[in-house]
Every structure is written in C-alpha cells, then in structure tokens.
Amino acid sequence: MATLADIVNVDIALNTTSVQRGTFGIPLIAAPLASFAERVRSYTEFDSTNPDNLPPSVMTALSDVFAQTPRPSVVKVGRLSIASVVIAPVDAVANAVYSLKVGTVPVSVTAVASPTTSTIATQLAAAITTALGAGGTATASAGNVTITYTGAVIPLTAFSKVQFGTITPSATANILTADLGAINNADSFFYFLLLTERTKARVLEAAAWTETQDKIFFTASDEAAILAQGTNTDILSQLKALNYFRTVAGYHAEAATEYVDAAWVGRGSTTQPGSETWALMQLSSVTGDKFDKTTQTTIRGKGGNTFERYSDQFSLTNEGKTVSGEWIDVIRFRDWLKDYIGTSMVQLMINRDKVPYTDGGIQLLATNLRASLRQGQTVGGIAPDETGPSNEKLPGFNITAPRSFEVSDAIKASRTVYLKFNARIAGAIHIADINGALAYSLD
C-alpha cells in the first residue's frame, strides 16, 4: 500500500525537555521521631498531621509555620534517628483495651480488674517486644514502656493520646550530620531547615551541615548569656565567630515553648526570592519580646535577630540577617539566581543538537543569560536600569561575552565558553530618616 511517506517523509523531534528548577520556599522541620519509617513526610495543612501522632515539639513548630498569613503550601518533617522511645499509659482503667501499631503489627492488651499504670506497662512491654521481633526490645519501669531499637526505626502509630499521652523519642547522639544527609538524599526539595531541638551541640552541627548546602538554617534560643555584654560562650556568639552565611539565629524569651524561627520561615518562605526583606515581618502565634536599647544592641552585635513589640498592636522581626551579617534576602536571591541561570542554560543546550563555538553560538548563550538576569530584575533582586546624574543610563547588569576569534584554540578544544556578568543588588529600605520643618512661608 502506498503512503505519503513514499513522497514526503516527515520526522519531528521534540526539543521540549525541561529542567526542574530548585525550590526556595519549602521548610523542613527535622526532629527525632518514631511516628513514621520514611525519612521525610510532607504536610499541606496542620490538621493532616493528626493521624501521625507527632511529638508535641513538632506539632508546635508545625502550628507556628501554618499559623502565618500567607502560609506555605507544604511543610516537610524530616525524621532524625532515635535510640529509644518512651510511651506511658495515662490512666489505669479496669478492663480497658490499650492498643497501638508497631509498624504494621497491631498490639493491644486488656487491663486487669484492678490495674495500675505499672501493670499495664508490663503487659504492653511484653506485647510490643513480640511485635518488634528482631527490631528491638521493650521494657517496663515505673509505669513507662521504653522501646530500644536494634535496627531501623519501626514506627509507632494508631495509639490514642487519651490513653498514652505523647510518645517521647530520645535522639541518637553525634549522628545529626549523617541524619541530615540521609534526609537530603531522600528528599532534597526543601530550602529552609528548622530543628525542634535547641541544644548548642545540635544547633552547631546543623549550622555546619547547612553551610555545605544551598539551604538556610533558622534557629532561636533563650540562653541568658546572649543578653550579657562581653560574653562569647553563648550560642549566638559561637555561630557569629564561625561567620556562617547560611544560619539565621535569634534570641526569643519563649524559645522553650514557641518556635519563632518556624513562624518566621512560615511567613518569609511564601515570598518570591528577590522580592522580599526578612525584616519588619509580622508573625502570628508567637510572642514579641520587649528589650531596652542596650539589650537590643547586644543581641544584634552577636549576630542575632529579634522579634520585638513596636507597639501594643504589633511586633516585628529585625534585622533579617544571617550570623555572618549578610542579609537573608541577598543569600536567598543569590541561590535562586544561580539555579535560574543554570537550569535555563542547561535547558537551552540539551534541546539543541549543539551550540556551535561561533559568534552566533556564544551570543545564544549570552542572550539566554541576559533573559535570566532580566528575570532577576523582574522579581526585584537585581536593580532596574536607572538614570544617572547626567541623564546617562545606569544598567542593572552588564554581560561580558568573548568573540569567537578572541578564544584560544586550547579553550575551544575544551568546549568551554567563559561568560561574566556584574549586577547591582536592588536591596531594601528598612529605615527612613526624615527631617522637616514647619514655618509660615517656604523660604
């Protein structure tokens, strides 16, 4: 049978491959957990966390994130390793059934006619040990059941908080870096890291790990030494001495019960990188502090941020810096721009059979770079083209691209082209200093 292909053979390639861009608005809360087996679980609303029976600290941090307006569309929880976990019957009720799941195995015991929390804990420990198999052991003491794992964490779910209160995990010491690496390997699509733990050792380790990633770590502390002038052993002073560009820390008097860092991320993460400043943000669900000028200066001098009451009506974040002294928005926009330029350029190159090493090919790349920088202007991170004092044009950025004849044979043989750009940061205004006068005439 004759076909049109006998006359005209048509073959159309699909040069439409897209490259996934990075994410710069997703928070992840890392905490010791026995609530699920996977390393990362995502939540799109606060109520969706209920079936997982997360520890109170995680629930508080999630609540402070989701309480913001606007709020993130998704918040992730990362599971840190635990050495053990404690559960405890709250009340001893005659003939009541106490049940939970150990992994996928249902466990239930029926209380005796005259029970105590200790007798119920003993019953549960025996039943849980059977369910764990080679995965661990459960022991009862003083009305508590302690589960010690010998291998991977087997999650505890489907328990009633009315019967058991809360599950209390115990973190495994000295492996936070490995845990964060495992979380990142399982799901790297988050940008803001938060810890439910506030100890110096854990904060310092998390900060060191974050410095090696294209992410930002937020934390807060109520350590009294932060407020003391001349001390350098507090957590803020230690972080500042390390000159970390990817750690944001602050003092908060209620840090033991509130997560102002989570609230701050919840609000700031909803903004487009380049469009925002992290100062002067109003936060919900967390308490603003009141400081005198000396205390405020001490905190900021140690690289710390604050959430302070400016009036009876509102509290605001300040200053919006990392512990190195760089603005948070600058670091975030730089990460976004690096990703945007890289993914745009890769997308151009893989959707062509080749980009020739000619003036035309080089200009293709320069045009692609120019489009990315224009996008940086559109979102507000790069300054727009402006006018100078003599009405001359002040461009927001400049690009330097070589002509083909200017490139040596050796560099051409390596198939590498070198492009450069300079761009003016748009920045943000935090303070307006206004001087004026009132008179009967404008002389």
User: Alpha-carbon distance 241 to 230, whole Å?
Assistant: 14
Burial class (CB in 10 A: 0-12, 13-18, 19+), 302: buried
* Token pair belonging to 278: 């992290």
How many domains are there within the chain? 3
* Token pair belonging to 54: 């997360």
What are phi and psi for residue 139, nearest 5 degrees? -130, 150
Residues 305 and 271 in one domain: yes
Structural domain that includes position 248: 27-79+173-329
- Exposure string over 121-156, b if 16+ CB within 10 A, otherwise e: bbbbbebbbebbeebbebbbeebbbbbebeeebbbb
**Virtual CA dihedral for 99, 101, 107, 113, nearest 10 degrees?**
-10
Among the candidates 329, 345, 370, a domain finishes at 329
Is there a domain that residue 317 lies in?
yes
CA–CA–CA angle 52, 53, 58 (5° rounding)? 100
Residues 159 and 180 in one domain: no
What pLDDT score was predicted for residue 12?
55
Please list, in sequence order, all residues whose beta carbon lies within 8 angstroms of the beta carbon of residue 344, skipping any fewer than 6 positions away. Answer: 368, 371, 372
Residue with tokens 């009036």: 311
What pLDDT score was predicted for residue 326?
96
Residues 184 and 52 in one domain: yes
Residues 221 and 96 in one domain: no
Is there a domain that residue 334 lies in?
no
Burial class (CB in 10 A: 0-12, 13-18, 19+), 435: exposed
What pLDDT score was predicted for residue 8?
65
Residues 309 and 321 in one domain: yes
User: Alpha-carbon distance 258 to 117, whole Å?
Assistant: 31
Residues 198 and 60 in one domain: yes
- Single out the residue of 358, 364, 323 nearest to residue 344, CA to CA: 364
Residues 54 and 94 in one domain: no
Residues 73 and 135 in one domain: no
What pLDDT score was predicted for residue 50?
85
- Single out the residue of 386, 246, 216 nearest to residue 325, CA to CA: 246
Query: How many other CB atoms sit within 10 Å of the CB of residue 366?
Result: 17
Residue with tokens 């710069």: 24
User: Alpha-carbon distance 216 to 326, whole Å?
Assistant: 12
52-90, pLDDT tens digit by residue? 889 999 999 999 999 999 999 999 999 999 989 999 999
Residues 199 and 313 in one domain: yes
Q: To which H or E segment does residue 336 belong?
A: helix 328-350
Residues of the chain whose pLDDT is less than 70?
A: 1-19, 173-174
What pLDDT score was predicted for residue 18?
60
Residues 47 and 101 in one domain: no
Query: How many other CB atoms sit within 10 Å of the CB of residue 201?
Result: 11
Residue with tokens 């200017």: 406
**Virtual CA dihedral for 78, 340, 396, 382, nearest 10 degrees?**
-20
User: Alpha-carbon distance 381 to 373, whole Å?
Assistant: 9
* Residue length of the chain: 443
Residues 155 and 178 in one domain: no
Is there a domain that residue 107 lies in?
yes
186-237, pLDDT tens digit by residue? 999 999 999 999 999 999 999 999 999 999 999 999 999 999 999 999 999 9
User: Alpha-carbon distance 184 to 39, whole Å?
Assistant: 9
Is there a domain that residue 13 lies in?
no
Is there a domain that residue 62 lies in?
yes
Check residue 7 and report its DSSP letter. T
What pLDDT score was predicted for residue 15?
61
Is there a domain that residue 6 lies in?
no
Strands 168-171 and 192-195 come out as unpaired
Which residue type, as a one-letter code, is found at position 141?
A: S
Residues 247 and 323 in one domain: yes
Q: To which H or E segment does residue 84 belong?
A: strand 82-87
